[in-house]
Amino acid sequence: MEYDAVLYSRILTEMTLGFHILFATIGVGVPVFIALAQWMGLKHNDPHYLLLARRWARGFTITVAVGVVTGTAIGLQLSLLWPSFMETAGQLISLPLFMETFAFFFEAIFLGIYLYTWDRFKNPKIHLLLLIPVVIGSSMSAFFITTVNAFMNTPQGFDIVNGAIVNIEPLKAMFNPAVPTKTAHVLVSAYMTSAFMLASLAAYHLLRGRKHVYYRKALRITLIPALVFSIATALVGDLSGKFLAEYQPEKLAAAEWHFETEGEAPLLLFGMVDENQNVSGAIKIPYALSILAGNMPSTEVIGLNEFPEDERPPLYVHYLFDVMVTLGMLLIFIALVYAVLSKWKPQHMYNKWLMRAVLISGPLSLIAIEVGWIFAEVGRQPWILRGYMKTIEGATSSPHVGTMLIAFGILYILLGIGSIAVLRKMFKKNLPEDELAARGN
């Protein structure tokens, strides 16, 4: 491959973010479930839930560590790989970036305290309360950093006069039109993903034939919220569709291979497209795109051909959109089956096939997160700052990006292998049954 600093910078950024969001998503969601388990444990004086909180927290430290170091990496890479972009956008987005760091600081302090004060307070509720700043800190940092990304999609709060940025309104820039749908989608999908990841662990043990009530409680405390959060994710996703139709029609049009502006637009599922914009093999759902865009079958949806060719996102984003939505629906279905069975047919709720589905639901939701982010990011190409700056103008001119790409690639492989190995080692020989027995329960 010929050396191309922009391309390599894009690949390196994708790689770092792609790796980071796996850990960041878990970092945002899991504290919520640790808090839930600990609260249930204290409320019902139930050692099983308390042990769940402890074990989840233990594994969580590993994911936090990798999340922190990869987050530091992407934070610095923003300036290293996109110096011209940061020079310009730095004047507009530094407020949320700064606040994100504060939220992270806050979380880091209380997480440190939380992890080292088990059994230290006479009143166990104080220890539970320490999780509140952790949950607030992690969710707020996700919120702030997402507003930065939202700004890149819908920049506002400034004017450009003779190439200079003037009339800056930091709050208007921060609370741009993409913020409500984007941050809501990021937060609920992070809670959802963490819920499925934790449920997957319980399902793994149940499939291995372990029958302890501990695992059943673990499944219940994660899958019921998973149902709520996955439905919420889908609802916010629908709102995101309406947002795109209004503010980023080219992204929606590329996602749906919708070329001509028209009403009564159908939604396309799967299929293939050729260079002449002929779609074959797709499943057409009549009116669905118009309904997604504006709640009415007659809503006119702007087509991709309205945009100059050099301002269109690549057409393959359609597949990413399909995968994201399909996985989302599948996850809702899995959680729903569990919820229905537990209410009406509890004798089948630990059915082997359902447990297998729950086992893969964790990894599937992580895939959905990755695919969703790639869709959102590639869908705004060729822009780095939509309407203002193209990606190619923001990148570094350094001749060493290729070498760094390899170095970071090796780093992420090492971190990935290391974290899996350590997490396995932590839990494989140390079963909850034994731990409960050791604690006298």
Q: Which of residues 42-71 bind another protein (CB under 8 A)?
A: 58, 61-62, 64-66, 68-71
Stretch that binds another protein, among 76-84, 240-248, 299-307, 335-343 (CB under 8 A): 76-84
Please choose, from the candidates 224, 218, 216, 223, the residue with its C-alpha nearest in 3D space to the C-alpha of residue 54: 218
Q: How far apart are the C-alpha atoms of 434 and 441, rounded to whole Å? A: 10
Q: Is 282 left (phi over 0), alpha (psi -120 to 50) or beta?
A: beta
Tell the smallest beta-carbon distance from residue 80 to another protein (Å).
5
Stretch that binds another protein, among 96-104, 245-253, 272-280, 344-352 (CB under 8 A): 96-104
Beta strands 389-390 and 383-385: pairing type? Answer: antiparallel
Using the CB atoms, write b or e for 108-133: b if 16+ within 10 Å.
bebbeebeeeeeeeeeeeebbebbeb
Q: Does 145 bind another protein (CB under 8 A)?
A: no
Q: Does 297 bind another protein (CB under 8 A)?
A: no
Q: Does 84 bind another protein (CB under 8 A)?
A: yes
Stretch that binds another protein, among 78-86, 210-218, 286-294, 307-315 (CB under 8 A): 78-86
Question: Are 222 and 201 contacting, i.e. CB atoms less than 8 angstroms apart?
Answer: no
* Contact pick of 261, 305, 351, 398 for another protein (by CB under 8 A): 398
Q: Does 422 bind another protein (CB under 8 A)?
A: yes
Q: Does 179 bind another protein (CB under 8 A)?
A: no
**Residue type for position 305:** N
Q: Does 159 bind another protein (CB under 8 A)?
A: no
Q: Angle, to 10 degrees, between the axis of helix 213-247 and the axis of helix 179-207?
A: 150
Q: Which is nearer to another protein, 116 or 344 (CB)?
A: 116
| Helix spans in 154-287 (H) | 170-174, 179-207, 213-247, 249-256
Stretch that binds another protein, among 169-177, 265-273, 294-302, 366-374 (CB under 8 A): 169-177
Q: Does 15 bind another protein (CB under 8 A)?
A: no
- How is 384-426 classified by DSSP, letter by letter? EETTTEEHHHHS---TTHHHHHHHHHHHHHHHHHHHHHHHHHH
* Contact pick of 122, 123, 161, 171 for another protein (by CB under 8 A): 171
* Contact pick of 126, 132, 160, 168 for another protein (by CB under 8 A): 168
Q: Tokens 């949950």 appear where?
A: 135
Q: Does 175 bind another protein (CB under 8 A)?
A: no
Instruction: Give 390: exposed, middle or buried? Use CB within 10 Å, 0-12, 13-18, 19+.
Output: middle
Stretch that binds another protein, among 107-115, 248-256, 332-340, 374-382 (CB under 8 A): 107-115
Q: Does 260 bind another protein (CB under 8 A)?
A: no
Q: Does 425 bind another protein (CB under 8 A)?
A: yes
Q: Which is nearer to another protein, 159 or 434 (CB)?
A: 159
Tell the smallest beta-carbon distance from residue 397 to another protein (Å).
4
**DSSP assigned state of 306:** G
Please choose, from the candidates 332, 304, 318, 313, the residue with its C-alpha nearest in 3D space to the C-alpha of residue 371: 318
Q: Does 88 bind another protein (CB under 8 A)?
A: yes
